[in-house]
Amino acid sequence: MDEDNNVNKLKILCPYCNAEWNAEMEAQLDTFNAGCETCGYGASATFTVSITCSNCGRVVYRKETESEM
């Protein structure tokens, strides 16, 4: 039954080398997408989020954002 679940599991693939994202890359994406960019208080910060493929070394996700801290 576990094999059937893995067949239907969505996978994120590198658009350059077609390698599956590893757990660290997925955790980074989850961290960067958590919460709302407009909530919070205090000073704001502008930063760039960049995730690199662990297989080919190319940038597969990049986002420039401003967030309140």
Region 33-59 average pLDDT: 72
Would you state the pLDDT for residue 57?
94
DSSP states along 2-20: HHHHHHT----B-TTT-PB
Q: Say if CB 65 and CB 46 are below 8 A apart.
A: yes
Number of domains in the chain: 1
The fraction of the chain above a pLDDT of 70, given in percent, is 65
Q: pTM score, two decimals? A: 0.55
Higher-confidence residue of 32 and 39: namely 32
Domain encompassing residue 23: 2-68
Would you state the pLDDT for residue 52?
93
Residue 36: band (very low, low, confident or very high) from pLDDT cuts 50, 70, 90: low
User: Whole-angstrom Cα distance, residue 11 to residue 55?
Assistant: 15
